[in-house]
Amino acid sequence: MPDVEWLPQWPNIADATAAQTRLAEQLGTDPALATPQYVTQVAAQLADAGLAILVIDAHAPATSEAQFEQRLAECAKAAELLGIPSVLAIPLDRLPDALKALEPHDRRGRLRRRVRHVVTERARSAAFADLMQHGFGTGGKPDVEAATLTGQLMDASHRSVRDDFEATAPQTDLAVATAHGAGAYGARMLGSGFGGIVFALVPADEVDSIAGAVVHGFASVGLTPPAFYRA
């Protein structure tokens, strides 16, 4: 088993900048939902179901304010072209129409990718809220269907941040992939993008083995080993 560095508390996460907060609002997400406090709150509900949140500090490079500002500008440009106040005004069932309308103005597809992420991420957030109300199991036994659906939402969210919002890093992508391959129900990076923290939904009795698998995955490609915290 590889050596695993366990942190006594949450990895150091810088306070959200003004641009990050505006980006969360642009995505229709309460900035408070992308915080360690929120993840810890969710983890407390999962504990009774034999589940845990494995927090992974993937040591991704620091990001700049300009990256957040660029995403904000792209979302605003898409809304302007569509003649709406915000891309949040697009309901999920009208997404194909919005993407088609943007096509003549978006040769490289960048704006359409941003819009697709925003609209589908809102839908995933709503689905997750429904699952939270349903619960994840009791007496140390998970509701496997609920855990599986939650993991699928997390995986889809990370793919969207990676492919449509283009706001992940190789380290976070590797952490998600290796955690999932080792038995996590699902994993995604924390927040709206451009961060280095990943959290994974895992069986409580597999936290150590999944962390070890992630360390091994990083070592196999010569990356700095991540550090871990159990929320």
Check residue 213 and give its pLDDT.
97
Check residue 21 and give its pLDDT.
63
Q: What pTM value is reported for the model?
A: 0.89
- Give buried/exposed letters for 3-28 (b at 16+ CB in 10 A, else e): ebeeeeebbeeeebeebbebbbebbe
- Give buried/exposed letters for 103-133 (b at 16+ CB in 10 A, else e): eeebeeeebbbbbbbbbbbbebbeebeebee
Check residue 32 and give its pLDDT.
53
Query: Three-state SS for 53?
Result: strand
> 202: part of which helix (H) or strand (E)?
strand 197-203
Low-confidence ranges of the chain (pLDDT < 50): none
What CATH number is associated with residue 124? Answer: 3.30.70.890
Per-residue pLDDT tens digits for 178-204: 999 999 999 998 876 777 889 999 999
Q: Which two tokens stand for residue 174?
A: 């590797």
Domain count, the chain: 1
Full residue range of the structural domain in which residue 209 is found? 5-230
